[in-house]
Every structure is written in C-alpha cells, then in structure tokens.
Amino acid sequence: MRMVFDNARLQTLAKNFERIRLAQSVDHLNVIIYHVDQEARISEADDNRNPMPRSLAVEEASASTPAFPDQDDRRLPQIARALRNPNFRLFWSGNFLSNIGTWMQNVAQGWLVLTLTNNSAFWLGVVGFCGAIPFLLFTLFGGVIADRVNKRRLLLVTQTAMMLLAFLLAALAWLNVVTVWEVAVIAFLNGTAMAMNAPSYQALVPRLVPREDLTNAIALNSAQFNMSRILGPTLGGYAMAAFGVAGNFLLNGISFLAVLFALVRIRYPEENKTRRETMFTSFRAGLGYVRGQPQMFVLVWMIGVASLLAIPILTFIPYFARSVLQVGESGLGLLLACSGAGAVLGAFTVAWQGQIRHRGAVIAFAGAAVMAAVVAFCYSRSFLLSEFLMLIEGYGMILTISSVNVAMQHLSSDEMRGRVMSIYGTSFLGLPPVGALLAGELSRHIPTTHALAAMSGVCMIVFLGFYAFSKPLRDLD
C-alpha cells in the first residue's frame, strides 16, 4: 500500500477526529458493551448446581483444587494469576490483538462514511444502527444455538465470517468502489455474527480456568479490553493517515487470525450432550429457568434498566466535549481516556481482590455511584471535574458489571448457560441503542443535559429500590 504522511492529511484527520468519534459513538458503544459483556462472563465454569445452592462466596472459596496441578503459581503475581492457565493465556492474548483491530476498524468506518456522504450525520447514525440492531434481534437465537452445537466450531464460523467481512470492506475501499449502502450492509452482517458469537463465547471461555481463578480472569479480560479501547483508536488514526481506511480494515481482518489460532490450539473438557428439543421449546425453557431463579431474575431486570437509562451516556460524550465543555477533539480524547483508565483501574482492583464479596450490595451501591457520577457530569462545567467524574464512571461500571456477571454465571447450570447468557446479553446489548433513541427524543423537548441526568437519576433510584425491596438481591454474596 502507498504511504501518505503529508501534513495536510494529518491536519484533516485531526480536524475531523471529533466527528468520527461522534459518528461512531453508537457503534463504539455496542462494541464496548459486547466485549465487556464477553469479558465479564468468563466465570461460568462452575459445576452443576445443587438443588439447594450455597452462597456464591462459599462456592468460590471451596474450589481450592487447581484445574492444572502442574502449574507453578509463583511464576505470576496474584493480580495476574489467571494467566497461569495456558489455554486462558492463549485466548486472552488472541482477543487482545483482535480487540485492537476492532477499534481500528471502528475509527476507519466512521471516516469512510463521512467521506462517502459528504459529512452526513444521518448516514453515520444509520450505519451505527445497522451494527447495533442485530444484538436485539439475534442474541436470544444465538443462545439457543449455543446449547445445541459444538461451541468451538460455532466460534470458528462466526470469527471467520467477521474476518472475511473485514477483508471485503478493505477490498472495496482499496478499489474505490464502496458505497455507503454496502458499508451499512456489512455493518449489519458483522453485528449479526457478533450476536451469534456472544453466547457461545461466553459458554466456552469459563472452561479455560479453574474456579478459583474466575474472578481474576474476569478482571484481566476487562483490563485487556479497556487497554485495547485506548490503543486501538490511537493506532487506527496513525494507520489511517499512513495507509488510508483500507489499511485499517485489512489490519482488523488480519487480527482475527490470532483468535482463530487460539480457538484451534486451546484444549478444554468435553461438553455434556443435552437432549434434543425444538428451538422454540429450548427458548421457552431458558425463559422459564431465568424466571424461576429469583436472584438471576432481579439481576436481569437491573442490567436491563441500566442499559436502557444509564449506559446511553457514552453515546453523548462527544456532545458534552463539543457543546457543553467546549474542549474540542483533544478534550474528547481525554474524557474517553479517563473513562477507559477508570475501567482499567476497576479491573485491576477486582483482579487484586480475587473474590467479590457481598455482591448484591456491590451491584446496587456501585451502580448507584455510577449514576450519581453521570448526573454530576451532566451539570459539570469544569473540565477537570468532568475528567474525574468519567474516571469514577469507568471504575464503578467495571465493578458493577463484574459483580453481575460473576453472580449470573455461578447461578446458571451448564446445560442452560448459553440460553441464560443470551437472555442476559439481550438486555445488556440490545437495549442501549433504544436508550440512545429515548435520550434523543427527550432532547427534542428538554435540554440534553436534563434528559440524560433524569434518565440516570431514575436508574439510580431503581437500583437502590431493588436493594431495599428485593431480599434475593440482598442475600447475594
């Protein structure tokens, strides 16, 4: 590929970086949610639950026999002990590289849409919606499939599909024959592959670590994703200036080879075969299972409320940087970096602790702290204070997500895990775009800051209300 480093192009790239961020906010949000959702769920490798389950803390503490007794625990510090498991270490590394590539593609895709449509915000929204809506439509279906087929093979199919889509987009962009409609269709197909991929990914990864390393593995996956969230857009900007948008798409396609290599090489216990049912029967069984577990049911409701009312703030950070704080592109980057840094700190905190005790209280009060930080952010006019609040938001969000996912997967049985995770994933992945639309509609009638603050305030009250009136949540340990 030819390399272009002229100052004019670099200045143009910098000048429009905020527009790219705004353009990709919906797409970025779904990628964030998708990966964080994947990362946090790796703790589902517990044995089938007894009819009268013990507390989650007791289950964790009782798992003292390593899955790989020949490992040398002294090779790695406590904060990274899950990496002592060779299969998890291989998969973690492959996903880190792939996540960086995904973020590089996100930046390039926004730039490409702007170029093709003469800076049309409408088309940016259309492409973002096309990439987001499959999570709402197909995640439940993917969970039913995950419980019926070989998960490794399904992951190989979905990851290969995403790789080929990246190569296709690279070829179309390189040949200068791409249209915005083609970008939208590819975004939809990529989102569909992600939606089908998520439940199988969630059901496979916990088999790679022993139970005593589950919480640490969650934190390390969160850390690697948030590090890629910082590195990917930065490298993507430089790569786009050097090689053009086609180069970013090509590099993302190549990055999938790391995940495919890991999937082929990892070894894990064989899965128990479940009896055959119709798809509809399996789907109904999953809904009934979640509804019959009080703790699981309340967690799904809480994450659904948060996804609808609180998480959409991430879509509007460019608005605050440009119109409220008036700090421009560099300020936008710093706000996003503070959120990412807080998430990394939260992940390292969970990794250092090893276990999350009193999960019900952590979920309710850490979540409420996130909502309070968002409300304060909406009315802040100090850039330094806004940076600090974004740090708190990122930190608290990881604590909340980690606690919810550890609990969900310990409460789920092996044979129902794919369906449970797909129900949870639909709430987590499918509702934020709806919440963003709700916030946008409210912004037509009241100031945007009031709309987002009101949504987060309602969410905070709901979280505290659940803790006050839900005994299953208070008993969650």
- Domains of the chain by residue range: 7-64+83-474
pLDDT of residue 288: 87
Alpha-carbon distances of 56 from 41, 60, 65, 401, 408, rounded to whole Å: 15, 6, 17, 16, 10
pLDDT of residue 3: 40
Which parts of 244-380 fold into alpha helices (H)? 245-265, 279-291, 294-309, 317-319, 328-353, 359-379
pLDDT of residue 108: 83
Q: How far apart are CA 245 and CA 24, in angstroms?
A: 14
pLDDT digits (tens, 9 = 90+) for 306-354: 988 988 887 777 778 878 888 876 777 788 778 888 888 887 887 777 6
Kindly report the CATH class assigned to 7-64+83-474.
mainly alpha
pLDDT of residue 5: 42
What tokens appear for 109 in the block? 């895709």
State which residues of the chain have pLDDT below 70: 1-78, 119, 121, 125, 202-203, 205, 269-277, 329, 354-355
Q: How far apart are CA 444 and CA 413, in angstroms?
A: 45
pLDDT of residue 305: 93
